[in-house]
Amino acid sequence: EVQLVESGGGLVQPGGSLRLSCSASGFTFSGHSMSWVRQAPGKGPEWVAYISSGSTTTFYADSVKGRFTISRDNVKRSLYLHMNSLRSDDSAVYFCARGLTIPTRYLDSWGQGTLVTVSS
Amino acid sequence: EIVLTQSPATLSLSPGERATLSCRASQTVSSYLAWYQQKPGQAPRLLIYDASKRATGIPARFSGSGSGTDFTLAISSLEPEDFAVYYCQQRIDWPLTFGPGTSVDL
């Protein structure tokens, strides 16, 4: 069974930093691209960042470019999102999601999400 | 970025009825469009990709159609578990974008 478990969310002050982690099991992690998607309360999902299976390619939403960094460790079967210079509008539930094998930019398995709250 | 709009915002139906949801893109996305279902407190679930291909384990009552800028998700006969919010998503260009959603209400 595919499992994605996020952790690392919490309350952080504006301007602060946080690192989210996603632990994967039940599939060949190194064979799939991964993404982070966030969802503010009452809103639709917003794609945040993408990383290819071998970490050679990354893409970011303009709203987080230069502040967030996506990375992965295929040996540890883990995905990360380093978030700096956090703002109140970054508050959301953050999901890690697996890309389909082919085509890769659809998200066929999701974690349960971790809540990030940016507030003073 | 490619903007997706969905209509209607809310669809009020009863079990057994047919649901038809629309998604329109601000520019062509060819057939590179997906549909997701989301229930309260849960993550989205992939239903349809590449406009008309059902994802693994998705019942045949869900079908997708369309190409270019206009797409439709149809649910042939609503089951109680189908009442949820549905989102479309395009993959033709970065950033990946989602629509604002259609709520299928009882």
pLDDT tens, residue by residue, A18-76: 999 999 999 999 999 999 999 999 899 999 999 999 999 999 999 999 999 999 999 99
Q: What is the mean pLDDT of chain B?
A: 97
Report chain A residues whose CB lies below 8 A from the CB of B45.
Answer: 110
Instruction: Work out how many CB contacts closer than 8 A connect A with B.
Output: 59
Instruction: Please report the pLDDT score of residue B30 as a whole number.
Output: 96
Q: Cβ–Cβ of A59/B95 closer than 8 Å?
A: yes
Is residue A102 predicted with pLDDT exceeding 90? no
Q: Cβ–Cβ of A106/B89 closer than 8 Å?
A: yes
Q: Cβ–Cβ of A59/B94 closer than 8 Å?
A: yes
Report chain B residues whose CB lies below 8 A from the CB of A2.
Answer: none
Q: Cβ–Cβ of B44/A45 closer than 8 Å?
A: yes
CA distances from A99 to A28, A120, B61, B106 (A): 12, 35, 24, 32
Instruction: Please report the pLDDT score of residue A101 as a whole number.
Output: 85
Smallest Cα distance from A64 to chain B, Å? 11
Q: Cβ–Cβ of B45/A110 closer than 8 Å?
A: yes
What φ, ψ does residue A90 adopt, rounded to 5°?
-85, -5
**Separation between Cα atoms, residue A9 and residue B2, nearest integer Å:** 29
Smallest Cα distance from A41 to chain B, Å? 11
Instruction: Please report the pLDDT score of residue A18 as a whole number.
Output: 98
At CA A90, angle to CA A87 and CA A95, rounded to 5?
155
